[in-house]
Structures are given as C-alpha cells and as structure tokens.
Amino acid sequence: MDEKHHFLNRDGVLEFVRAMDNTDFSRSYNSEKHSIHFSREGNGFQLRLPITVKVSADAVLTDSEVKYLMLLVQTGSASVGVFQGGKCLEHKVFTAYMVRKKQGTSQIKHLKTKGKSRAGSRVRLAKTLLFFEDINTRLIRHFKENEFDRIAFSCSKILMPYLFGSKVETPFDRKDERIYKIPKHLHQPNFEVMLGMQRFLNKGEVIYDQNDFPELEEVLNHL
C-alpha cells in the first residue's frame, strides 16, 4: 500500500468535490469523522473535510459559516476556544498541579494503582477536581452565549470520567452529535498548540492509495 496524504485549503476542497462529481465515483458522508468516502469498484479513499465546511443532509457542501468550540484536555493543562470560520473569537488556557514530582505520573494514574494516601496526594486530587470544574464553568458560559455547529474535541481516555463526572456538569454529553474527535496527536494544549490544531482542522486532507487511484495526482495538482 502506498498511502498518500494531500492537504487542501477550503476552496481547494470545494473544487475537488465538484471535480469528483463529474466522475463515476460514488460518495458517502460520515458525520462523526466529518469526512467523505469516495468509492469505485470496491476501492475507495477518504476526504477529511475542513471543520469550516458544512454538509447538509443530502451531503451537499454549503458555504454557511461554521462556529465551533475547541476543547483540548491533557493531564495538567487544557485549552478552550471559540472559533467562527477561520477566526479565534475567545480562548482560555487552564493549568493544574496534577503530577507527582518524583515519579512524574499524574495523580489520577496514581490513584488507580495506589489509592489516596498522603496530604500531597489529597492536595493534587483536590486541584484535579477543581481543574475540571473550572473547565466546565467556562464551557457553560460559552454554550449559553453561542450556537455551535461542531465541538472539536481531544481528551485522554483516563481524564474523560473526570470531565463528564465533574460536580459542575459538562454542557454536552459524550454522545453529542456535534462532537468531532480530532484525528491528530495532541501535545500539551497551550494557546499555540490550539492555534496549530485550528490550522490543521481548517484544511482538508485527501487520503488515498496511489496504486489504486493514480489519476488523483493530476486532479490534485491542478487545484
């Protein structure tokens, strides 16, 4: 398999889809992954759409402006941002003392194996719980003030129960249809990392096997 990844800006994505409409490929839209699968004679390839592109019920791309929330959570840090089109309207970075210094592991991981013990562990646990309460308090305000088309979301699995089980309730649930799990590895989410993730999400990505679809090279190179 010779898998290739070709990135396109928003206009390039719209032009690419129009070009594919004039071929014998069939297509289907996956809302969870925000991607279009093109297929022909048992073979297929994917087009990951920019988050700024909206798809209607009949899988037609529209020019409506998209407003979305981005939530990035890792041990000890998180970023929350409100975006409209290509603009960041508001952002906030959260940090918490959640790492046991000598061992370098998070208090949450420690609790799963050792349980609560000394005063330092109790302090770290309290700060962990407050960390998620602060995040959800911020999210609640954003959801009251905005109507979001999508929720761009990245959170390590071990932290999910703390986010959705916080004393301050998360203003969306795990199965919210707007959730878009970001298909990219996340570093500690400061503001610069969040803006880098925004640039990634604002691009489209054609993922294909060059051996199966050699003709795509010519189409993509003309965009």
Percent of the chain with pLDDT over 90: 63
How does pLDDT run across 90-146, given as a tens digit for each residue? 999 999 866 555 444 454 554 454 555 555 566 667 788 899 999 999 999 999 999
Residue 63 tokens, joined: 């020019």
CA 66/CA 104 separation, integer angstroms: 40
Question: Looking at the predicted structure, is the pLDDT value of residue 51 above 60?
Answer: yes
**What Å distances lie between residue 222 and 12, 45, 170, 203, CA to CA?**
10, 19, 45, 17
Cβ-in-10-Å burial (0-12, 13-18, 19+) of 46 comes to: middle
Start-to-end Cα distance in the chain: 25
How does pLDDT run across 181-219, given as a tens digit for each residue? 999 988 889 999 999 999 999 999 999 998 888 888 888
- How confident is the model at residue 117, as a pLDDT? 52
Task: Supply the pTM of this predicted model.
Answer: 0.85
Residue 97 tokens, joined: 């003392």
User: For the chain, how are helix, strand and coil distributed in percent, rounded to 5?
Assistant: 30, 30, 35
Span 75-88, average pLDDT? 93
